[in-house]
Structure 1
Amino acid sequence: MAWEWFHRLGSPRWFYHKTGAWLPWLALASLVLLAVGSAWGLGFAPQDAKQGNSYRIIYIHVPAAFLALAGYYIMAVSGAIGLIWKMKLSFVVMRAAAPIGAALTFIALFTGALWGKPTWGTYWVWDARITSMLILLLLYIGVLALSRAFSREQVGDRACALLALVGTVNIPIIYKSVDWWFTLHQPASIKLTQSNSIDPSMFYPLLTMIAGFYCFYAWTLIAHTRSLVLQREWRTQWVQQALGEGS
């Protein structure tokens, strides 16, 4: 059953028809979680003892950074599935994930710069964590550039997948950069194997924002994938029927 479901998921037609009903629920979940999390974090969470109110940017910065990293794995794994099992849909997911991941990485870098000014006295330092995040942005941009560099989609798909896979070496470097090198960037406040170093009154709204960002990411990824599926499969009869029913 799992193998059959895996192959069904690889069908652009099955994916398009199956996921249409998911989008409204993901959009609603994103809206509710982000509204609650932002109001909770910006309006009701207490001030930080050392940073005052400037720390509140974590409610955008941290979720964006989380999804930038997780999204790269999604892009790379999708590319790997396409290379190994020749699934067209996985390449489409890979391409759809690239601009979303690039936008989230930019948001993480931008909000980090805004946070760095009152904390470190400067918007930018060549810190290990920040520099490796910049490399992540360049990798996303590289995948986007390769996706438009080839006239044949199949060649572009393979080139993007290979670059995405090579770039995965940067993800553990980002995670461990604050442990491996002397860095201005603070260590992780949210830990899976140890107790969190952030107070619950600040942690719960942050957790809500992270959940909201994950729902938003899933929503945008599925919506963008559906759009790219229609572009790739526009000659097929099922797409003509789907577009006819939607008009």
Structure 2
Amino acid sequence: MHGFANPKRFLSLARPLTPWLLGIGFLLTGGALGWGLVGVPAERLQGETVRILFLHVPAAWLGMGGWTTIALASLAEIVWRHPLAAIAGRAAALPGAFFTALCLVTGSLWGRPAWGTWWEWDGRLTSMLVLLFLYLGYIALAGATAREGASSRIPAIFGLVGIVNVPVIHYSVLWWYSIHQPPSLSLSGSAMAPEFLWPLLAATAGFSCLFGAIVLMRMRALLAETQAQARLRRRARELELEPRLKASGA
């Protein structure tokens, strides 16, 4: 892991990998969404509203996956003091928040015809809303510490604490009575018909590639910003010392 602590070494991997992830992501996502919207038949009970799952499920997956990325980066920051860990956490926060918000919006759009309501304070929906608030808090905290030059361990601790909410989201439909249906996919198998399962897996893989590309692009941008700020601070110190050096030389 520390092999990529050197920014140049990280960039040598991130630069060629980003366009590949973008290309594969766009192809898989476009094909899967087209397949799901046009090629998949209407579901027996849910009708045409079932098509929203090809956007809703990947968004939910990446909302939780984004915070898992933050937690892993936070662990690397606290335990190993990895130089790029704080940047990785900040890079994953914004796309993770976007997918979490997208999950909530698409879930509400699906819930209106399925449940007869836009919102219900059940375990899954409430814990997902909490995740969105955690993202917003992390983004604000990480941004403030970066601006003020405070320790990056502060948002890292917040990132580790927030991971508790991810298993709550996953198991909420099993722990509490809920109007939300139980998971259709698990390690033991799938309760979903193949004509829905395969485009859903393709959409999830495509969106995951796009998420990875966005995180890499944001890491490169944040790294460039950090390096530029370091150069400016170094130049400012040189300008402050220059009159003193001239005076002592005189």
| TM-score calculated relative to the size of structure 2 | 0.89
Shift in Å, 1:18: 2.1
SS in 1 for 2:102: helix
What residue in structure 2 maps to residue 152 of structure 1?
A: 148
Contact 1:16 1:229 in 2 (8 A): no
Question: 5+ unaligned residues in a row in structure 2: which ranges?
Answer: 232-250
Superposed CA offset, 1:48-88 (max 9, x none): 10110001100000001001111111111101101111122
Shift in Å, 1:12: 2.0
Percentage of pairs with the same residue: 37
Say which of 5, 8, 13 aligns to 1:13: 8
Letter in 2 for 1:21: P
Q: Matched residues in 1 for 2:57 and 2:166: separation?
A: 15
Contact 1:63 1:209 in 2 (8 A): yes
Say which of 175, 198, 213 aligns to 2:207: 213
Letter in 2 for 1:103: F
What residue in structure 1 maps to residue 66 of structure 2?
A: 71
1:109 is aligned to 2:104: yes
Letter in 2 for 1:152: E
Shift in Å, 1:35: 1.1
Q: Matched residues in 1 for 2:192 and 2:209: separation?
A: 23
Contact 1:189 1:198 in 2 (8 A): yes
Q: Matched residues in 2 for 1:77 and 1:158: separation?
A: 13
Number of residue pairs aligned between Structure 1 and Structure 2: 230
1:200 is aligned to 2:191: no
Q: Matched residues in 2 for 1:115 and 1:85: separation?
A: 43
1:227 is aligned to 2:202: no
1:1-247 matches, within 5 Å, as: 6-150=1-145, 151-155=147-151, 157-193=152-188, 195-234=189-228
Coordinate RMSD, CA, aligned: 1.3
Q: Matched residues in 2 for 1:24 and 1:187: separation?
A: 37
Q: Matched residues in 1 for 2:55 and 2:33: separation?
A: 8
Question: Which runs of at least 4 in structure 1 moved beyond 4 Å after TM superposition?
Answer: none
Letter in 2 for 1:199: A
Q: Matched residues in 1 for 2:202 and 2:51: separation?
A: 14
SS in 2 for 1:234: helix
